[in-house]
Amino acid sequence: MKLAVLKETNDHETRVSVTPDIAKSLVDAGFECLVEKGAGVSSYFEDKEYSDAGATIVDNPAALYADADVILKINAPNLDEIKSMKSGAVLMSFIFAVTNPELVDACAEAKISTFSMDAIPRISKAQSMDALSSQSNLGGYKSVILAANALGKVFPLLMTAAGTLKPSRVVIMGAGVAGLQAIATAKRLGAIVEVSDIRPEVKEQIKSLGGKFIEVDSDDAVETEGGYVKEVSEEFLKKQKEVVAQHVANADIVITTALIPGRKAPVLITEDMVKSMSFGSVILDMAVAQGGNCEVSEVHKTVVKHGVTIIGEANLPALLPLNASQLYAKNISTLLNHLADKDGFKWEMDEEITKGSLITHNGEKVHPTVLPKEEASTS
């Protein structure tokens, strides 16, 4: 099978879906690897590294789309790119199907089979394919580095001849993969770290990393599924805001990571809460691309409001393109090798990784999240 590695065209994107090392492993496994010229340059991988690995460099992306059996990308293609793919091709990338219905419809109409990297089930045997986790892990690390750089004070307690400098106080909202890495990074830098999460079961993980769990009474309307928060009541969110408001007011840095799949990110930091923070404090909103956890954050912008610096970087992993590409390439190649060999895909439709990540196939939408409710309940 011919695999196509395309140069990402989204704004602020620097990653590449396949690195030279992974290209070599795919070529060794019998795949033909075609790489668009310059695809890896923003991730610090030169074309020569790909050609030395056995890949073929192609200067015409349209030809790649038209010829490839499998398209390997990070971001989902646009509608014109989908039209350029040959019928029966397989697309593997982030899709975010629930929030991209037009894309899903276009893939079905073009008879493109799509495996969504954000829909990999969170089970033990799929951990090495979990691109959301690998990228969120890096995002959590980078969030602390960016926030620390914007803060006008040090993180650790420093006792000097000129006086003692108090440690910075960091509040992290959300203890998923990104939040846990942010906790670990902030603690390594010497900060006092307080953490809010609506799932009481993460308390021990937070404590094990040196963070202090901000207690909020549990709520029956908090539903989790596959490690993600699925549904939260408005009453609970209101209660959470009241509890964390004082912690936010005393914080030097607040990092928010809360997301609900398929829905707008919940607002956790209101403008009034921003006003309550000390002059020179910092907020980093990791959910800004999905509407934002902070009421006044702006996508891809760093702004100062009410004396508080608010960082709205929407693609944190792309700020670490070399490492982010290395991890993503391993994720996507592991998934590919699980689903197929050099001669074709297995199409084991009841196998849980296939069933969990396949969005469209043979001109039909097949994933429960994109089917009408009555069809999803019987699938």
Annotated catalytic residue, options 21, 67, 122, 199: 122
Residues 6 or more apart in contact with residue 211 via CB below 8 angstroms: 172, 175, 183, 187, 193, 194, 195
List of residues 6+ apart from 181 with CB closer than 8 A:
136, 137, 138, 139, 140, 141
CB of 189 closer than 8 Å to CB of 148: yes
Active-site entry in 69, 228, 233, 276: 228
The catalytic residue among 44, 59, 127, 341 is: 127
Is 328 an annotated catalytic residue? Answer: no
Is 208 one of the catalytic residues? no
The question of whether 130 is a catalytic residue gets the answer yes
Question: CA nearest 316: which of 6, 15, 99, 20?
Answer: 15
Which residue is catalytic, options 43, 93, 133, 326? 133
Q: Does residue 240 have an active-site annotation?
A: no
d(CA 318, CA 14): 5
CB 285 within 8 A of CB 308: no
Catalytic residue among 25, 116, 130, 134: 130
Sequence-distant (≥ 6) Cβ neighbours of residue 254 within 8 angstroms: 170, 171, 172, 173, 248, 269, 277, 281, 282, 283, 284
Clarify whether 122 is annotated catalytic: yes
**Residue 185 · residue 145 · CB < 8 Å:** yes
Kindly list the catalytic residues.
Answer: 122, 127, 130, 133, 228
